[in-house]
């Protein structure tokens, strides 16, 4: 059993489709009403079929009251970390502390370059992400005196004004798969959000990946529990039992509880573009999973 000691979170991963523009907003509101803890949107600024994720997050924050929001994950190569820091803090302040910052190093370099972004190798993009996290934390730190300075390979700050400070400790959650990114996550991040459909070996892959994060954390003198483990999942509800996450809500709950107890995952984010599965996930799967995990942790 692995337990990093976080309460369970249940969320939705909603496509930020531009047409019709209200669809994503309505689903986010439905997710809140259904009782989910978290609403997230992917961020692909080169994709014109999608709304701009930052704008959508800000708009949805204004349309909701309670649910937490995050990019899943924000595309760093097309968004400058200094701008992100201020925007994230602003959104956190406006929403009363409901914002978390999911961040990714980027991957579709042709499209990024077409938009005017800088092409990086995978290795460089990991380093750039590390610098970005440093800059963001620096700008959020308004306790420190004087302008923020940072002299990196990819970004620099020359005495930038600090602030605003966010309303709560915004979690920086990283979408990571490769060994370097996982170590970086362990060293610097507050959370980790991989997607289950991308794991070729299924949930079993999580063990090895967790180990890399834990090592990264240890190397920076951090406790592994400093990094919350979340997981984007997809599946299908049906009356009869089927393969992993294809079946009735009870089956889902058992499988998610097992993943949680086995690998310490404490956040499940459902990829869904209809209200019906989101509602089932919130009303049936989430409470049952919580119970099973609580029972399992107590043992």
Partner 1 sequence: MGYGHRLEFGITIPPVLPEGAAAFARRAEELGYDVVTFRDAPGRSLDAWTLASWVAGRTDRVRVGAHVPCATPAVLARAAASLDLLSGGRLELGLGAGEEAAALGEAIDIIRGLLDAGERGPLRFEGEHYRVRGARRGPAPERYVPVHVEAHDPPMLRLAGRKADGWVATLGRIKAGGIRAANGLLDETAREAGRDPREIRRLLNISGRFSGERGGFLDGPPGAWVEDLLPLVIEEGVGTLVLATDGAEGMERFAREVVPALREAAGRELAGAPSGPAVRPAWVRARRQPGIDYGRIPASLGENAVEPGDPAYARVRSTYLRGGAPGLVLRAGSPEQVAEALAFARSHPEVPLGIRSGGHGISGRSTNRGGIVIDLSKMDGIEVLDEASRRVRLGPGARWMDVAAALAPYGWGLSSGDYGGVGVGGLATAGGIGWLARKRGLTIDRLRAVEMVLADGSVVRAGGEENPDLFWAVRGAGANFGIVTSFEFEAYEVGEVGWGQFLVDASDTAGLLRRWGAAVEVAPRDLTSFIILGAQRPGRPAVAQVFAVVDSDRPEVVAGQLEPVARAAPVYDQSAVITPYASVMANAQGSYHEARGEPVARSGLIRHITPRFAAAAEMLLRSGAAYFFQIRSVGGAVSDVAPEATAYAGRSANFHVAAFGASPERLDAAWDAMRTHFEGTYLSFETDRRPERLREAFPPGVLERLRELKGRYDPENVFRDNFNIPPAERRQG
Contacts to partner 1 by CB under 8 A = 18-22, 25, 45-52, 54-56, 58-63, 78-80, 83, 86-87, 89-91, 93-95, 111, 113-117, 142, 160-164, 167
Burial class (CB within 10 angstroms; exposed 0-12, middle 13-18, buried 19+) of 71? buried
Cα 215 to Cα 223: distance, rounded to the nearest angstrom: 10
Q: Which residues pair with 157 in a beta bridge?
A: 150
Q: Give the list of residues 6+ apart from residue 280 with CB closer than 8 angstroms, or none.
A: 237, 249
* Residue 95, Ramachandran bin (φ over 0: left; ψ between -120 and 50: alpha; else beta): alpha
| CA-wise closest residue to 162 among 139, 136, 131 | 139
Closest to partner 1 by CB, 49 vs 204, is 49
Smallest distance, Å, CB 15 to partner 1? 13
- Considering the complex, state which of residue 26 and residue 254 has its C-beta at the smaller distance from partner 1: 26
Task: Name the minimum Å distance from CB 110 to partner 1.
Answer: 9
Assigned token pair, 271: 């990829």
Nearer to partner 1, 8 or 94 (CB): 94
Nearer to partner 1, 116 or 201 (CB): 116
Taking the complex as a whole, the smallest distance from the CB of residue 42 to partner 1 amounts, in Å, to 14
How near is the Cβ of 260 to partner 1 at its closest, in Å?
A: 33
Q: What is the DSSP letter of 37?
A: S
Whole-angstrom distance, CA of residue 7 vs CA of residue 120:
37
Nearer to partner 1 among residue 165 and residue 295 (C-beta): 165
CA-to-CA distance for 210 and 2, rounded, in angstroms?
10
Residue closer to partner 1 by CB (options 97, 249) is 97
CB of 200 to partner 1, least distance (A): 30
Closest distance between partner 1 and the C-beta of residue 271, in Å? 19
């Amino acid at each position: 059993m692995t337990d990093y000691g976080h309460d369970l979170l249940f969320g939705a991963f909603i496509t930020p489709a531009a047409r019709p523009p209200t669809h994503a907003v309505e689903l986010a509101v439905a997710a809140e009403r259904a009782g989910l803890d978290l609403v997230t949107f992917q961020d692909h600024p080169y994709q014109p079929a999608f709304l701009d994720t930052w704008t959508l997050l800000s708009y949805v924050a204004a349309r909701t009251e309670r649910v937490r929001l995050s990019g899943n994950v924000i595309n760093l190569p097309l968004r400058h970390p200094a701008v992100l820091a201020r925007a994230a803090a602003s959104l956190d302040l406006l929403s009363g502390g409901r914002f978390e910052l999911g961040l990714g190093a980027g991957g579709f370099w042709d499209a990024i370059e077409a938009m005017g972004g800088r092409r990086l190798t995978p290795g460089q993009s990991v380093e750039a992400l590390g610098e970005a996290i440093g800059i963001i934390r620096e700008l959020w730190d308004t306790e420190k005196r004087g302008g923020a300075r940072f002299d990196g390979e990819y970004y620099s700050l020359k005495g930038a004004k600090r602030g605003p400070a966010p309303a709560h400790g915004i979690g920086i959650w990283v979408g990571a798969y490769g060994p370097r990114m996982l170590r970086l996550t362990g060293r610097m991040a507050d959370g980790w959000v991989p997607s289950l459909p991308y794991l070729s070996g299924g949930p079993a892959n999580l063990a090895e990946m967790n180990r890399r994060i834990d090592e990264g954390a240890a190397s920076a003198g951090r406790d592994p529990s400093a990094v919350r483990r979340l997981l984007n999942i997809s599946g299908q509800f049906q009356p009869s039992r089927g393969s992993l996450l294809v079946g009735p809500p009870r089956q889902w709950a058992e499988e998610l509880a097992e993943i949680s107890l086995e690998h310490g995952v404490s956040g499940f984010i459902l990829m869904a573009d209809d209200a019906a599965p989101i509602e089932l996930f919130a009303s049936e799967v989430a409470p049952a999973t919580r119970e099973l995990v609580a029972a399992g942790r107590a043992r």
